[in-house]
């Protein structure tokens, strides 16, 4: 999640988001906008609860920033089965969310941010987009789910890149970048890289001195999901 100049933007909305937000002192009612990177369940299954609560309880219509190619499939393939009706009312996606369609590699201005989406390789035949976000003098990249490509798009002109990373013993994975692959990134990339999307078991291993040494040697950093990073 990003915060700048009093605005707040959630990145993806998986099924755990509604239950995890209270640990940050927030609820879905505190989220005015969400960006969707792709349509896997751990990135979109929280939208049903978000949409229903916003429409039925809070009488609001959150902003939904989404790559243009994903908007129709999100409704047809993911949400319409349960969200076509809200009580007696027939609904479409625009009834729940104010939709902002983002186009590949074209800057889009929203609130204090400029977002530029960029395609990444994740799963064959599944569209997935990372994003570069700028606000004032700050700029960060977020790969979302991706294989290890060392794409200069995310590193060019940014202060930090939040990069998908797996630590599974099955090396390499076929859907996520693996830590051992990221260790081969150029040093100037690794120094900017914050590792995300790993499991809770990996987070617990941060206390292992040998593990800490390897991470430190890589010059990359494991993100803490409950820590606020300022850029």
Q: Is residue 80 part of a domain?
A: yes
Q: Is residue 76 part of a domain?
A: yes
SS3 call for 69: helix
Q: Is residue 66 part of a domain?
A: yes
Q: Is residue 141 part of a domain?
A: no
pLDDT of 1-17, one tens digit each? Answer: 999 999 999 999 999 99
The model carries a pTM of: 0.93
CATH of the domain at 10: 3.60.15.10
pLDDT given at position 167: 85
Q: Is residue 31 part of a domain?
A: yes
pLDDT of 123-143, one tens digit each? Answer: 998 999 999 999 999 999 999
Q: Is residue 45 part of a domain?
A: yes
pLDDT of 52-98, one tens digit each? Answer: 999 999 999 999 999 999 999 999 999 999 999 998 889 999 999 99
Give the domain extent around 1.
Answer: 1-103
Q: Is residue 126 part of a domain?
A: no
Q: Is residue 209 part of a domain?
A: no
pLDDT of 174-227, one tens digit each? Answer: 889 999 999 999 999 999 999 998 876 666 666 678 878 989 999 999 998 888
How buried is 195 (Cβ within 10 angstroms: 0-12 exposed, 13-18 middle, 19+ buried)? buried
Number of independent structural domains in the chain: 1
State the Cα–Cα distance between residues 210 and 74, nearest whole angstrom.
43
């Amino acid at each position: 999640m990003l915060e700048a100049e009093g605005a707040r933007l959630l990145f993806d909305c998986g099924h755990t988001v509604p239950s995890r937000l209270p640990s940050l002192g927030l609820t879905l009612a505190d989220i005015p906008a969400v960006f969707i990177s792709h349509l896997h369940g751990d990135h979109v299954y929280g939208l049903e609860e978000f949409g229903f609560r916003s429409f039925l309880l809070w009488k609001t219509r959150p902003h939904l920033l989404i790559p243009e190619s994903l908007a129709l499939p999100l409704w047809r393939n993911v949400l319409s089965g349960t969200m076509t009706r809200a009580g007696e009312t027939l609904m479409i996606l625009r009834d729940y969310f104010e939709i902002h369609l983002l186009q590949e590699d074209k800057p889009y201005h929203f609130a204090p941010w400029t977002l530029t989406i960029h395609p990444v390789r994740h799963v064959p035949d599944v569209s997935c987009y990372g994003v570069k976000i700028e606000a004032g003098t700050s700029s960060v990249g977020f790969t979302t789910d991706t294989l290890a490509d060392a794409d200069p798009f995310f590193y060019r002109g940014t202060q930090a890149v939040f990069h998908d990373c797996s630590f599974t013993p099955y090396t390499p994975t076929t859907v996520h970048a693996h830590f051992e692959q990221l260790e081969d990134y150029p040093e100037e990339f690794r120094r900017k890289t914050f590792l995300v999307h790993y499991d809770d078991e990996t987070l617990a291993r941060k206390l292992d001195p040998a593990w800490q040494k390897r991470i430190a040697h890589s010059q990359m950093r494991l993100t803490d999901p409950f820590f606020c990073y300022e850029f």
